[in-house]
């Protein structure tokens, strides 16, 4: 697993160029599929590889599916099984996109900037477009980024049933600190 993460990080850096690319291997992706009937389908993955290119606006993350940690071991087992995310066959949950209004961000000046992001979310080898906003907080040369969006599980071939215990459109929250 570490080889995949390190390989991905080096690939991202090589593609975007060392000078402009900011990377981290400790970004967080939170998955929240809670409903009024069940507050347990919620997980975090704190070992996510993330990249931000301050020149081109390219952004992305790569999360190992089996690193999402749930408080309930049964839900975690279901999450990784074939009918859900099938982590054995599809080990990664990825996003690749671009900040569409990068001109509004001054990475050399401390401040908080809200930007628009368009990209592609890939889950179980199925890719769909995602449009969202992100917040970039620049302070002393470091950048903190955060964003959230929802997606339809059915768009990725994930069937959670009709009992109402799992949201059909979970909320994904992504946060990363780039030094």
Digit-coded pLDDT (tens) for 50-104 = 999 999 999 999 999 999 999 999 999 999 999 899 999 999 999 999 999 999 9
| pLDDT greater at residue 30 or residue 2 | 30
Reported pTM: 0.87
| DSSP calls for 98-140 | EETTGGG--TTS-EEEEEEEEEEEEETTEEEEEEEEEEEEEET
| Helix, strand, coil share of the chain (percent; to 5) | 20, 50, 35
Per-residue burial over 37-75, b = 16 or more CB atoms within 10 Å of its CB, e = otherwise? ebebbbbbbebbbbbbbbeebbbbbbbbbebbebeeeeb
Tokens of 140: 């002393």
* pLDDT bracket for residue 134 (50, 70, 90): very high
Q: How confident is the model at residue 19 (pLDDT cuts 50, 70, 90)?
A: low
Strand positions, DSSP E, 33-99: 42-53, 58-64, 69-70, 92-99
Are 156 and 124 in contact by the 8 Å Cβ rule? The answer is yes
* pLDDT classification of 17: cutoffs 50, 70, 90: very low
**In the prediction, which pLDDT does 163 show?**
83
DSSP state of 164: S
Q: Which CATH architecture has domain 2-178?
A: Beta Barrel (2.40)
Q: Which residues pair with 63 in a beta bridge?
A: 93
Tokens of residue 42, six digits: 């919620």
Domain edges within the chain: 2-178
**pLDDT-based confidence at residue 161 (cuts at 50, 70, 90):** confident
pLDDT tens track for 139-150: 998 999 999 999
Quote the CA–CA distance of 97 and 119 in Å, as a whole number.
4
């Amino acid at each position: 697993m570490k080889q995949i993460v390190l390989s991905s990080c080096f690939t991202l850096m090589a593609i975007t160029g060392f000078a402009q690319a900011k990377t981290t291997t400790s970004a967080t992706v939170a998955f929240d599929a809670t409903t009024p009937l069940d507050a347990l389908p919620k997980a975090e993955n704190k070992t996510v590889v993330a990249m931000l290119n301050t020149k081109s606006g390219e952004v992305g993350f790569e999360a190992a599916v089996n690193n999402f940690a749930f408080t309930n071991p049964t839900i975690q087992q279901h999450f990784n099984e074939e009918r859900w995310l099938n982590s054995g066959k599809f080990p990664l949950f990825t996003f690749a996109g671009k900040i569409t209004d990068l001109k509004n961000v001054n990475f050399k000046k401390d401040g908080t900037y809200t930007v628009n992001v368009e990209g592609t979310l890939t889950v179980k080898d199925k890719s769909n477009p995602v449009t969202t906003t992100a917040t970039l907080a620049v302070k002393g040369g470091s950048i903190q980024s955060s964003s959230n969006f929802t997606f339809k599980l059915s768009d990725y071939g994930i069937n959670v049933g009709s009992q109402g215990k799992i949201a059909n459109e979970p909320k994904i929250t992504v946060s990363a600190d780039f030094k």
